[in-house]
Amino acid sequence: MDRGHLHHLELWRDDATAADGPWPWLLTRLGWTRTDDWATGCTWSLGTAYVVLESGADHVRGRTDRCRSGMNHLALWAGTPDEVDALAAEAPRHGWRLLFPDRHPHAGGPDHHAAYLEDDAGFEVELVAADGAPPRG
């Protein structure tokens, strides 16, 4: 156990079981593997951490609002600045929208190289370059 490291994250999505779409594309590109499937969801694993995409019976369908109370965004290490830029360039073809395009790739500040992406349901992911500053909240 790595104390303080991510154990798991659950995202409730309308299309949680889809084999394609923004999350399967992104997680695959970052090295995650789909490790479990059931009628209303699936699990993606990387090392000891995992992400659950779920749309079970209690799921309330519709777009999320990252500015309301709850999760604002998920920040993931995404490789070198060139790898982050390549992901950002490819992401729109897979259901992601680049946030803050006028400040990309330094929307988090001049010493922070990252791509801020939003999926079709309103979830934000920050893809952080390995040589940049640690992710900030």
- The model's pLDDT over 45-73, given as tens digits with 9 standing for 90+, comes to 999 999 999 988 887 787 787 777 777 88
Q: Based on the fold, state whether residues 74 and 127 are members of the same structural domain.
A: yes
Shared domain for 136 and 88, answered yes or no, is yes
Q: Domain limits at 92?
A: 70-137
Whether 52 and 83 map to the same domain: the answer is no
Domain co-membership, 122 together with 76: yes
Q: The tokens 């500015």 sit on which residue?
A: 67
- pLDDT, one tens digit per residue, over 87-118 is 999 999 999 999 999 999 999 999 999 999 99
Distance of alpha carbon 105 from alpha carbon 88, whole angstroms: 9
Residue 49 domain flag: yes
Domain of 98: which CATH number? 3.10.180.10
Q: Which of 5-9, 34-38, 79-83, 95-99 has the lowest mean pLDDT?
A: 5-9
Residue 61 lies in a domain: no
Same structural domain for residues 76 and 127?
yes
Residues linked to residue 97 through DSSP beta bridges, in sequence order: 118
Provide, rounded to the nearest whole percent, the portion of the chain with pLDDT above 70: 93
Statement: residue 133 has pLDDT above 50:
no
Q: Could you tell me which of 68, 22, 112, 9 has the C-alpha nearest to residue 127?
A: 112
Count of structural domains, the chain: 2
